[in-house]
Structure 1
Amino acid sequence: MSSRQTKTDVILIGAGIMSATLGSLLKELAPDWKMTVIERRSKAGEESSNEWNNAGTGHSSLCELNYTVEKSNGSIDISKAIKVNEEFQVSKQFWSYLVKSNLIRNPRDFVVPVPHMSFVQGEKDVSFLKKRFAALSDNPLFAGMEFSEDPDKLKEWIPLMMKDRDANQPIAATRIESGTDVNFGSLTRILTTHLKSKNVDIKYNQNVDDIKRAKDGSWELKVRNVENGSVERLNAKFVFIGGGGGSLHLLQKSGIPEGKGIGGFPVSGLFMVCKKPEIVAKHRAKVYGQAPVGAPPMSVPHLDTRVIDKKESLFFGPFAGFTPKFLKFGSNMDLFTSIKPHNLVTMMAAGVKNIPLTTYLIKQLMLSKEQRMEELRQFIPDAKSDDWELLVAGQRVQIIKDTAAGKGTLQFGTEVISAADGSIAALLGASPGASTAVSVMLEVMRRCFPQQIKEWEPKIKEMIPSYGTTLMENPELIADIQQSTAQTLGLKDAAAKEKARTVS
C-alpha cells in the first residue's frame, strides 16, 4: 500500500456548504494560499448540504416560531430571531458579492423568493402569534410582515391549507414576502466548482483516518482512498473540520483539549414529499407551525415549497427518528465509537435527561405512513395518501456538553470549537447551519487568523458591507442591504411577480 506526503497551507475536511464558504472567503482574502478539500463521497454537497436532505429554508426567523420564546411575564424574547436574521443578511451580502464579481453567474440556480409564514391553531397559539407579530413588526429586520386571523385572507395566502378546514377553530398566520428557498446543494456545487477553477485541490472518495499534531505545530492527516485503499499523508498549517455529523469523530482524533467532554446525539429526519403539479401549484410558501410537546426544536412541522432543478415540489415534515449513524451514509457504530472516557459522564447524564426525547424519537420512527398523513392533515385537511411519498432526509448531530444548565445538556444550533492557537477548528451542531454559513466562517477566521484579520478587513467590508457593525443599530443600512441584495440576487422582481400571482 503506497503512502506519500503532500504539504499545503489549508485543509478543509468535507465538501459541504461550510467548507465551500470558508474556502471561497479565504480565496478572496489570501489567493496565494495553497488549499486542499477532502471529501469522503464522490461529489460535493452529498450529505447535510444536499438539497434533498434539508428544508432549504433561508433561515432568517421570519417564520420559525422556535426562535421567539414567550417569557414568564408574557413578553416575547426576540433576541435569537434578531441574531439569526442578521446572520442571514450577512450570507446574502456575500452571495451578492459573488454574483457581482461573476463568480456566480445566475443566482436563480440556488435562491428563489418564497413567502415565509407562521401558522397556528387554537386560542393559546393565536394569542402567542399575535404577540410575536407585534414584537417583530416594529423591528426593521422584519419590515413587511403581515398578520391575519381572517379566513378569507388566509384563503388568499394558503388556499391548499384552507380547503375543507374546520371554520370553528381559531387560526392565524403571519406572512412576509421577502422569504427565500435556498438550494444549498446547488450553492455548494457552484462554490466548489469556483474553488477548483482557483487551483484548489479537491480530493473525492477520501476518508480521513487520523489527525495528529506534527512537531512544528502543523497538522498531519492520514487520508485513505476508499476505492483502492491507497494512503496519502497531508500536512497543513490550518485544518477546518466541516464534515457535518462526522466532525465530532474527527475533532476527537485531533486530541485538542477544547474537544474534550463533548458528545453528540444523532437525530434523523424524514419528509413527506408531493411532486404532483396540480397540487404543488396551489401552495407557494414555507409555512411553519408549533413543535409538538417533547419534540426537539429541529422538528418544528412545516409545509414548504421547494424549487429543485427548476421544478417545484412540496415538503412536509420533518418527522424525527433515531439511528446511531452520525451521517446519512455513516455507520451504525458512529454513536458508540464517539463515547470516550472524557465524555462518558456527560453522555450518561444526557441519556438520563433525555429519556422523554429518545422515547419521542422512537415513536416518530415507528409511525406508519397513514399516521404521518394524519399529521400532514393538520396543515392540508384533504391531503390524499397517494399524492405523497416518504423521503429520508439528512442526519443531524446535536451537541451534548456540560453547561451552566447542568451536565449532559443537549445544545441546539451550531458551534465552532477551535484550538487555542487557532491551527484547527471544527463546526458541530445543526440548524440554522447552512443559512448562517458566512457568519460562522467569519467567526472561524476571527479565531484562527487573528494576525491577518485586521489586514483583511477592507476586503471583507467590500464583500460584506455590514461587517463590523450591528445591523440593529443602523436601520438605514438594513434597508440598503435588503434592497441591494434582493436586486442582485434577482429576488425583487420575482417577489413582485409572486405578489401579483397571489392577488390574481
Structure 2
Amino acid sequence: MGRVEGHMLLVMKILDVDIRSVIVAQREETVDVVLVGGGIMSATLAALITSLEPSWTVEIHERRDAVAQESSNAWNNAGTGHAALCELNYTPQRPDGTVDITKAVTINEQFELSRELWNHLATNGRLPGGTGFLSTTPHMTFVRGEANVEYLRRRWETLRAHPLFSDLEFSTDPATIAGWAPLLVEDRDPAEPVAATRAASGTDVDFGALTRSMLDDAQRNGARLHVESEVTRLRQGRDGAWTLRIKDRRWNGVRKARRVRARFVFIGAGGGALPLLQKSGIPEAKGFAGFPISGQFLRTTNPEIVARHQAKVYGKADIGAPPMSVPHLDTRVVDGGTALLFGPYAGWSMKFLKHGSWLDLVKSIRPGNLVPMLAVGLRNLDLLKYLIGEVTATEVDRLRTLRAFMPTAHPKDWELITAGQRVQVIKRDKAKGGVLEFGTELVTSADGSIAGLLGASPGASTAVATMLDLLERCFPERVDGWRPQLREMMPSLGGAQWDESFELDQLVDERVATDH
C-alpha cells in the first residue's frame, strides 16, 4: 500500500467512515449497457447502439486476451456469408418431391441486412480499410448420384423463379462444372452423374477482421472494451438494474473482483452464454441446455491448388449427420492470405468454448433441463453414432471424404486444424420432452433488461437481423424513434414487408439449421 492510500485509510478511521462501503462504492460503477463477449454479436450490437444512442455508456467484456478468438475467429468458422445460395439444408424437399425455399429466402434477406449495415459503416469511414473483410467468392452446390442430381435440378428451378436467386446457374455437364471449379471433376469417373449450381455473387467473410474493426469503431464512439475480463456472476436488483461481478484475468491484474451495475445486459459469449443465462435466474432461460460439438478442417495453402479453386462448394450431409457437418470445400481469404478449407469433420467435447473447461457440460445440467437432455439423447441415437464414427476417424477416412469432393487430393498438401466449438440448443418441448435445434435462439427477459444468444450459425452472417430483433424486444418504447435512422443505415428495412410494422422477428423467428 502506498503512502497516499495509507493516509486515506487513517483519515477514514478518524472520521469513523465505513471503509468497506467506500471501497465497494469506488469499485462499483453504473453504465447503460454491458455486452458480454467480444465476438461478432456484441460488435454488431455495439455498432447499432453507439449509432442510435451516442450518449449511452457501453462496456464490453471479453474473457480472452483479444476479441474474436472463439466462434468469430476466421479459422473457427466457415466464413461463408450465408445467403442460402449453396446450402441444401435451407431448401428441404417435401414429401411430394417439391422443394421448400422459405428458409432460403429468409436467410438471404437477413444476410442482405448485414451487408447493408457493413456498407453503411464503411461508407461513413467507420470500418478502416473499407470492406476488406468481404471477398467476392462464387457459391456452388455439388452433388453426385442420379437422385441428388434430380433434387438439385428441382431446387434450382424453384429458386431461380424468385428474384433473389434469378442469377443462379445449373449444369450437369462436367466440362461446364470444370470451368467453374476444375478440382471437382478432375480425374472423376465420367460415368458418375454429377450436377452443380453456381451463384457468382457469393461472398467469403473474414468475421474476425470484421469484429475487430467494428469494436474499434465502437471504442472510437465511446464504448469501453475490457479484455481478460470475465463476468462470473450477475444479479438483478429491485430497481431492475443488473450487478455484474467481473474477474480480472490478467496475470498482473487486481485480484478482487470489480462490480458494474448495468441497466441492460447482452450475453453474446458463444458457448459461454448458457451458463451466464442460467446464473441470471430469469425464468425464460429455464429448460435450456447445450449439446457441444467440436470440429476439424483440412487446410491447404499450396498456391498451385489454391489458384485452381475460387469458390465455396457445399455438398450434401451424410445420413444421420447434423446440418453443421455438411461437407464443403471453401476458398478462404483471411488477413489478406488465401487458402482452401475442407470439412468440417465433426467431433465431440464437453467444453462449451474452444478454450473452455472440460466441466462446462456437467456444470450446465439443471433439474429443469435434465428431461429435455435425456429426451434428445434417446431420439438422436443416429447422431451419436455419427459422432462416434467421426471421433474415431483416421487420416485415411478423412482423405477419402475429401477425395469425394476433390479426387486428386494428396495428403502432403493438407494440414488438420481444429475448428471452433459449437453448442447446439436443447430446449423443452411439451410433446417430445426436449428438442435439439441447430439454429440460434435469442432469449430475452420479460422486462427486456437482459438478453442472450444461444446456438450456432447462421448467427455470424445474420447477426444484424438478430440484433435488430433484440432491439425490438428489449427496447420497444424506443423503436419508433430509432426507425428512421435504422432505415437510413439499412434501406431494406423500408421495404414493403417491414415498412409499417418493423416486425423483424418474422425473419429471425425462422430458426434454421446450421451449416457452419
Do these two structures clear the TM 0.5 threshold for a shared fold by scoring above it? yes
Q: Percent of aligned pairs with the same residue?
A: 49
> Which residue identity does 1:388 align to in structure 2?
W
The residue identity in structure 2 corresponding to 1:315 is: L
**Deviation >3 Å, runs of 4+:** 468-473
Counterpart in 1 of 2:90?
A: 67
CA distance in 2, matches of 1:417, 1:117: 34
Partner of 1:6: 29
Distance 1:85 1:233 in 2: 41
Report what 1:78 is aligned to: 101
Which residue identity is paired with 1:367? A
Residue among 70, 89, 92 paired with 2:115: 92
1:437-479 C-alpha deviation (Å, 9 max, x unpaired)? 0000000000000011110110000001111535799xxxxxx
CA distance in 2, matches of 1:157, 1:121: 16
1:494 counterpart residue number: none
1:191 aligns with 2:214: yes
Q: What's the CA shift for 1:355?
A: 2.4
Distance 1:304 1:372 in 2: 16
| Residue 76 (structure 2) aligns with | 53
- 1:305 and 2:331 are equivalent in the alignment: yes
Cα distance, 1:402 vs structure 2? 2.1
Contact 2:30-2:260 within 8 A present in 1 as well: yes
In 2, Cα distance between equivalents of 1:367 and 1:391: 15
Q: Distance in 2 between matches of 1:118 and 1:258?
A: 39
8 Å Cα contact 1:86-1:471 kept in structure 2: no
The aligned residue for residue 41 of structure 2 is 18
SS class of match (1:350): helix
When residues 53 and 149 of structure 1 are mapped into structure 2, their CA distance, relative to the original with a 3 A threshold, is same
User: Could you say which residue in structure 1 is the equivalent of 2:433?
Assistant: 407
Instruction: Report the CA distance shift for 1:352/1:287 in structure 2 as closer, same or farther (over 3 A).
Output: same
Output the amino acid matched with 1:403: D
Question: What is the alpha-carbon distance in structure 2 between the residues aligned to residue 426 and residue 6 of structure 1?
Answer: 22
CA contact (8 A) 1:147 1:175 kept: yes
The residue identity in structure 1 corresponding to 2:35 is L
Question: What residue in structure 2 maps to residue 163 of structure 1?
Answer: 186
Give how far 1:309 is off: 1.5
The reply to whether residue 215 of structure 1 matches residue 241 of structure 2 is no
Measured after TM superposition, the shift of residue 366 of structure 1 is 1.5
Aligned partners of 1:207 and 1:365: how far apart in 2? 31
Report the counterpart of residue 230 of structure 1 in structure 2: 256
Match of 2:127 in 1: 104
DSSP-derived class of the 1:249 partner? helix
Would you say 1:133 and 2:160 are equivalent positions? no
Choose which of 350, 356, 359 in structure 2 pairs with 1:330.
356
Partners of 2:422 and 2:490 in 1: CA distance: 29
2:424 corresponds to: 398
Task: Output the CA distance in 1 between the equivalents of 2:101 and 2:498.
Answer: 12
Letter in 1 for 2:163: P
Report the CA distance between 1:6 and its aligned residue. 1.3
Structure 2 unmatched runs, 5+: 1-19, 500-516
In the alignment, which of 312, 318, 325 is matched to residue 292 of structure 1? 318
SS of the equivalent of 1:18 reads helix
Partner of 2:507: none
Per-residue Cα deviation, 1:134-169 (whole angstroms, up to 9, x for no partner): 000011111211000011101101111211011001
Return the index of the structure with the highest Cα Rg. Answer: 2
Aligned to 1:346: 372
Per the alignment, residue 314 of structure 1 pairs with 340
Contact persistence 1:51–1:183 (CA under 8 A): yes
Distance 2:245 2:217 in 1: 26
Q: For residues 468 and 399 of structure 1, what CA distance do their matches in structure 2 show?
A: 32
Q: 1:96 to 1:437 in 2, by over 3 A?
A: same
Alignment: residue pair count: 473
Distance 2:344 2:445 in 1: 35
Give the corresponding residue for 2:510.
Answer: none
State yes or no: 1:244 paired with 2:267.
no
SS of equivalent to 1:77: coil
Shift of 1:382: 1.2
Output the CA distance in 2 between the equivalents of 1:374 and 1:404: 42
2:319 paired with 1:281? no
The residue type equivalent to 1:307 in the other structure is: V
Deviations 1:95-139 (A, max 9, x none): 111011111133342001000000000000000000000000011
Is the 2:440–2:459 Cα contact (8 Å) retained in structure 1? yes
Normalised by the length of structure 2, the TM-score is: 0.90
Structure 1: unaligned runs, 5 residues or longer: 474-504
Counterpart CA distance in 1 for 2:163 and 2:396 is: 43
Which among 399, 407, 415 is matched to residue 381 of structure 1? 407
Q: Deviations over 1:395-435 (max 9, x none)?
A: 01110012366222101111110000100000011111100
In the aligned structure 2, how far is the partner of 1:111 from the partner of 1:25? 20
- Matched residue, 1:496: none
Aligned counterpart in structure 1 of residue 60 of structure 2, from 16, 37, 42:
37
Cα distance in 1, alignment partners of residues 313 and 338 from structure 2: 15
The separation in 2 between residues aligned to 1:468 and 1:436, in whole angstroms, is 18
- What is the aligned partner in structure 2 of residue 433 from structure 1? 459
Give me the whole-angstrom Cα distance separating, in 2, the residues matched to 1:379 and 1:107. 34
1:486 is matched with none
For 1:299 and 1:471, locate their aligned partners in 2 and report how far apart those are by CA, in whole Å.
33
TM-score normalised by length of structure 1: 0.92
* 2:282 maps to 1:259: no
Q: Deviations over 1:167-218 (max 9, x none)?
A: 0010000001000000000000000111111121111101111010112111
Matching residue's letter, 2:220: S
Q: Any idea what SS the aligned residue of 2:234 has?
A: strand
- Give, in whole Å, the separation in 1 of the partners of 2:212 and 2:498: 33
Letter in structure 1 aligned against 2:280: S
- 1:421 is aligned to 447
1:457 matched residue in structure 2:
483
* C-alpha distance in structure 2 between counterparts of 1:314 and 1:286, whole Å: 9
The residue matched to 1:363 in structure 2 has which SS? helix
Contact 1:20 1:191 in 2 (8 A): yes
Distance, in Å, in 2 between the alignment partners of 1:415 and 1:143 is 31
Counterpart of 1:225 in structure 2: which amino acid?
Answer: D
Superposed CA offset, 1:295-314 (max 9, x none): 00010000000001111100
The 3-state SS of whatever aligns with 2:38 is coil
**1:91–1:196 CA distance, 2 compared to 1 (3 A):** same
Supply the AA of the counterpart residue of 2:324: M
1:48-102 C-alpha deviation (Å, 9 max, x unpaired): 0000100110000000011000000111000000110000010011011101111
In 1, are the aligned partners of 2:232 and 2:245 still within 8 Å (CA)?
Answer: yes
- 1:38 Cα deviation from its structure 2 partner: 0.6
CA distance in 1, matches of 2:385, 2:244: 39
Cα RMSD for the two superposed structures: 1.4
